[in-house]
Amino acid sequence: MPRWIPDAPGEEAALLSALGIASIDELFADVPKKARIGKMGVGPSHEEAEVVREVDRLLDRNKPLSKFANFVGGRIAPRYSPAAVDAIVSRSEFYTAYTPYQPEASQGMLRALFEFQSLWVELTGLDVANASLYDGATAAGEALLFCHRVRDGGRRFLVPASLPWEEKSVLRNYASGPGLVLDEIPYHEGTGRLDLDWVRAAVSTGDVFGVLADVPNGFGHVDEGVADLKEILGTIPLVVAADPLALSVLEPPGNYGADVVVGEGQGFGIPPSYGGPLLGLFACRTEHVRLAPGRIVGATRDVEGRPAYTLTLQTREQHIRRSRATSNICTNQSLMALAFTVYASVVGPRGLAALQSSLAEKARTLASALGGIDGIRAPRFDAPYLGDFTIELTRGTVPEFLDRLRRRKVLGGHPLADPRPGAEPSPARLLVSATEAIGDKEIQKYVRSARAAMGAA
């Protein structure tokens, strides 16, 4: 018996007639042919067992991440997750009813989200966090709109030129609706640090409503000049996009004046999974909380004096705010926020700091070895770094280099150039990352493969 009961020919003809079209293909007439997938490769009239065998054969062509020495990392890190994370997140109490659309969301889920908010507040040094956003890039986009509400004027939002092109693209999308402009802050070629004199001159025009800086930056380095930005900006809001793991060893951005701290929480208990799902982090100061994208879970006491949790603010579009909503994002990543919370709790503050320190040591070992290869400059910038750093090829191209490494079962890093047609040419640079999956054996394999790849260039 088939698991899927298709429409009979007569039913399909009736549906097409009601729609006023002659064929199923006409439904997709607006989709360019080159964008359509086409046939899936499994022909008609097969027994179920035959279909399963054919699908298994196709799946065998996949190349699992575990079969490679992986140095890609960056914003989406293949970090090891303790078994306790999946065990807790997969419990039916969380897994089947985790999105608090309604005020009657369970006390258990609300408490978990409150703990999640508390963790991000502790890491950032700010006052209040929301119950999560979609991912780090859209959290930065929400921060852009937040700054415009706080400043109530100006058209320019400043971001580092070194910010990953993907994130700049998302920010430009957010800015386009209200007619705002994204300006890129230059960096010093030797250190990769922000040009603070350029920022000072830009701010003096009076048309800047917010500034974003990332820690570590898009090159993987820690820009010590970020701590001086607020002194230059004054009342202009400062957004810091921070890596949660890095904040386990770095000073909280709230301590040096950040008004908003956003980030990507994927590395805490969430696998890469083809690039999603992810987790957006957002925290701000109390005086601006009503301008922030909700939801926010608060702690109180019930009529009998027992601890209780409730949705304190729900300022998104599908609730009572409607046109006055602070965001049109219609949900939050509650299950991913739970994974973040469980991971941080299981590993603990000392464990997180120890992990970041071990990754920094691996990164230094790898950078030193790669820097000894003719044709590779590693690290590219003279600045402190933690688990990620940038290398630059002085000959050959990044695609050629990565392809040669891939043939040797090594994923050599994340290209920093914008690959889209019409993008400005950029140097041959890669962001290389060290994770828990990388040991001495993998480092040696990368170095041997890189040496061979450059020798063949």
For 344-360, the pLDDT digits (tens) are: 999 999 999 999 999 99
CA distances from 160 to 8, 81, 435 (A): 57, 31, 25
Q: Tell me which residues of the chain have a pLDDT lower than 50.
A: 1, 457
Take residue 376 and report the two structure tokens written for it: 């590779």
* Contact call for residues 432 and 368 (beta carbons, < 8 A): no
Burial of 90 (0-12, 13-18, 19+ CB in 10 A): exposed
Are residues 338 and 406 in contact, defined by beta-carbon separation less than 8 angstroms? no
pLDDT in tens, 383-433: 999 999 999 999 999 999 999 999 999 999 999 999 998 888 889 999 999
- For the domain made up of 83-343, give the CATH fold: Aspartate Aminotransferase; domain 2 (3.40.640)
pLDDT per residue over 170-215, tens digit each?
A: 999 999 999 999 999 999 999 999 999 999 999 999 999 999 999 9
**CA–CA distance, 56 with 41 (Å, rounded to integer):** 12
Spatial neighbors of 418 by CB under 8 A, at least 6 apart, are: 165, 424, 426
Hey, what are 126's tokens? 């700010």
Cα–Cα distance measured from residue 396 to residue 454, given in angstroms and rounded to the nearest whole number: 8
State phi, psi for 401 to the nearest 5 degrees: -60, -50
The predicted structure's pLDDT at residue 64 = 85
Residue 370: what pLDDT? 97
DSSP assignment of 305-344: S-EEEEEEE--BTTSTTGGG-SB------HHHHHHHHHHH
Intervals of CATH 3.40.640.10 along the chain:
83-343
CB atoms within 10 A of CB 279: 30
Whole-model pTM? Answer: 0.87
C-beta of residue 360 within 8 angstroms of C-beta of residue 386: yes
From the list 376, 404, 400, the residue with the least C-alpha distance to 390 is 376
Domain with CATH 3.90.1150.10 in the chain: 65-79+350-455
Gap between the Cα atoms of 43 and 103, Å rounded: 49
CA distance 191 to 162: 12
Q: Report the C-alpha gap between 272 and 138 in whole angstroms.
A: 17
The CATH code of domain 65-79+350-455 reads 3.90.1150.10
Other CB atoms within 10 A of residue 13 CB: 12
